[in-house]
Copies of this chain bind each other. A is one copy, B any other.
Amino acid sequence: MTQLDVRVLIGSLRSASYNRKLFDASHELVPEGISLTEIPIWELPHYNQEIQQDPTPVVERFWEAIRESDAMLFITPEYNYSIPGVLKNAIDWASRPAGSSPIYGKPGAFFGASGGRSGTMRMQLHMRQVLPCLNMPLLLKPEVFIPNVADAFDDEGNLVDDRLKGQLIEFYEAFEQLIRLQRS
């Protein structure tokens, strides 16, 4: 069975980000058939059509990393009831050029953690409207909402919430199935 190369965009840039910690912890939770690799989105400039038409090496590398992938995963907090601007900027880059966008048609999934009670529910609703316009088949279930995320980690930054671990294992298994179904 082919190994699936999933590329990950993380929506929070601070080094101690809980969403980054969830990415780190995920390497041990994914099925054997999946590998997770981050694509750095902080290197990207703000989207500008002029740069797109004469792309810098950073933009070229970003497009190439998406083109090589088998699927896209978004792990991200919710900012102002929506997708963080920095992550939306990366999606805007990924969606160009219009006719030959590298992200177009790739299977996708998302989850995220927030300090408050929404657990990124509202961010995920906006993703359900944004990613279909890029023709991306999306993981439907399970949905993983992580409120009060600080409680899920111990003082050393280890993910110690077994219920959440179980949810993520189930999430990644379902994502693998979605990706393989789309390739069949």
Note all chain B residues with C-beta closer than 8 A to A140: 132, 135-137
- Minimum C-beta distance from A79 to chain B (A): 5
What separation, in Å, do the CA atoms of A49 and B48 have in the docked complex?
A: 24
Q: How many identical chains are in the complex?
A: 4
Q: Which of B46, B128, B138 contacts A13 (CB 8 A)?
A: B46
Chain B residue, CB-CB nearest to A184: B184
Within 8 A of B (CB), among A36-81: 41-42, 46-50, 79-81
Note all chain B residues with C-beta closer than 8 A to A87: 85
A122 within 8 A of B: yes
Size category of the A interface is 35 or more
26 contacts between A and B (CB under 8 A): A13-B47, A13-B48, A13-B50, A14-B48, A41-B46, A47-B84, A47-B85, A47-B86, A79-B88, A81-B129, A82-B82, A82-B83, A82-B129, A82-B130, A84-B88, A84-B92, A85-B89, A86-B89, A88-B89, A89-B89, A117-B117, A122-B122, A125-B129, A129-B129, A132-B138, A135-B140
